Structure 1
Amino acid sequence: MADIGFIGLGIMGLPMARNLAQAGHQLHVWARRPETLQAIETDPRFTVHASPAQVAAATQAVFTIVADTPDVEAVLFAEQGILAGARPGLIVIDMSTASAEATRRFAELLAAKGVDMLDAPVSGGEVGAIQGNLSIMVGGKPAVFEAIKPFFALMGKNIVHVGSHGAGQVAKACNQIVVGVTIEAVAEALTFAQAHGVDAGKVREALLGGFAGSRILDIHGRRMLEDDYRPGFKATLHAKDMRIVAQGMAAHDLTLPCTELVGEKMQTLAHGEWAESDSSALYKLLKH
C-alpha cells in the first residue's frame, strides 16, 4: 500500500481516485470546491487535507487532474501549492489536459527543487474512468514513468510513454483533434441521412460494420439519435482543449482547416445553451 495524493475529484478524477483506493492505496486529497468531497468524506480510504501543500507533504506521489493550464499552475505553485509541501523525490503526475509548452516549463521549475513530473493526460471519458480502461499518454523521464506505471495500470489499459516532458500533452491534443473532427463528421452524416428521409439509426447501424465504424459513431452517434447529452465530457472542456490545440498550431505556424472549423464550432457550443452538455451536442448546432 502506498500513500498517494490526488487533486481533482471531478467527473474523471473521482472514479480514477476510487480505482486507486480500491487497489488498497491510501488517498490523500484536496479539493478547491468542498462539495466535491461529499462523495468520499466518510470513506476511510481517503484523507482530506487543507491544501495541496499538505497533500504533497504526506505522500510520495501526487496525481492532479484539473480543468485548465492556469489551474495546474495554481495547484503546483500557489503559496500553499504542491511545491510548498514537496520533499525532494516527490513525483507529480499531471493528468489534466494542458498546454505542452507550459508543462515543459512546470517540469523545469519542479526539477530545480528535486521534484519529478510526468504529464499524463487521458482519453476515454467518464465511462473509461469508472471502468479503469482509460488511454493514458505520458511524457517525462522513462525511469519515472516505470515507477508510476503500476498506478497507471489501475486507471487505464492503453498506457504509452510518448516521449519527454510535454509529449503526453501533444498526444492528447492529437486525440482531441481526431475526436472533435469525428464527432462533427458523425453529426453531419446523420443529418445527411435524415435530410434524405432515411432512418439515421439504421444508417448508423450499417456504418458500424464498415470502415466508418468507430467508438464515436457508436457512443456519440447514439447520444445524438437519442437526444441524450448528459456529459461524459463537457462541451466547455472540449472547447478549452481545442483552444490549446489552436495555440499549438499558431506556435508552429500550422494550418489545419478541419481542426480550425471544429474548434470554432466547439467555442460556439461552449458559449451557448449547451455549454454544460456533452460535446456530442455539436449535432444540435446543425439543427439550429
Structure 2
Amino acid sequence: MAGGNRTPGRTVTSKVIAVLGAFETSTRPLGLTEIAELADLPASTTHRLVNELTEGGLLTRKSDGRYQLGLRIWELAQNTGRQLRDTAKPYVQDLYSLTGETSQLVVRDNNEALLIDRVYGSKRVPRSSRVGGRLSLHSTAVGKILLAFDEPWVRDSYLKLKLSAATEQSVTDPAVLAEQLKEIRAQGYSISVDEQRIGATSIAVPVWHTGSLGAAIGVVVPTSQSTNLERFLPVLQATSQRITKATAHIPLDTLLASHRNMPRKSRS
C-alpha cells in the first residue's frame, strides 16, 4: 500500500498526529512497537516519523530506546489559551484564596472540557486531570455548565453520543442528563457528586463572554466535606463576573475556535 498506510487515504499529517496521539493517554515512555500499534501504522512508517519528530524536538529518545514527548511540545502547548489563562489566572487564584478549595477554569473543546487553569487546595481530593488536560462534560460540574448554557445544538449533539461512566455515580442516560441540564439552566449552577472521581464533589457556574457562554469556573472539595456547597455560590458568581469583565477584550472564538466544533468522538 502506497506510503505504508494501513488505512487508505491517510495523509502524512494524519500519521504524524496519530504518532503524537499515542502519548495522549500514557504518562510513561513508549517503545516503537507500542507507538506503531497505538497509531495504527506500520513499523517502518512509525520508525521514520518518530525519528523526524525526535530531530524536531517534539519527541525525546530515552537511554533505553523508548520515547516520550519532547519539551518543544510543552513550549508550544503553553500558547494554547494563553491569553485567556494569563488574564483569568489572578481571579482563579483569588477564588482559591477565598475558599481554600481547589479552583478550576475550563472551556469546551469539541465534546470535552479543556482545563485552562487550576489552583490546587491543600485538602486531599481525587484528581481527574491537570492543566491542559480534559474532563468529561457529563460527569463534572464545570462540564455540565458548558453543556447547559451553550447553544442548543451542542446539547443535542452531545446527548446523541454514548455516555461513558467514570464511576458508578456517573449519569449515562441521555434523558436523565437532559433533565439535569434543564435544572442547571434554571438555577444557574451545577453540582457533581462522585461522578468523575469517587471522593470528589464540585460546584460550578458559567463565565460569560460578550453575552455568550465563554467558560465555566468551579471549586472541587472532598465529598466528605461537601455539605451545603451552595455556600460557595457568592464567591463563584463574583469571580465569574470579574473574569467576564477582564476577558471581554479577548476574541474567545478566534483564540479557541475548536471549542465551537464537535468532530471527535467522546473520550469521557
TM-score (norm 2): 0.25
- Between Structure 1 and Structure 2, the one with more helix by share is 1
- Between Structure 1 and Structure 2, the one with more strand by share is 2
Q: Which has the higher contact order (CA 8 A, sep 6+)?
A: 2
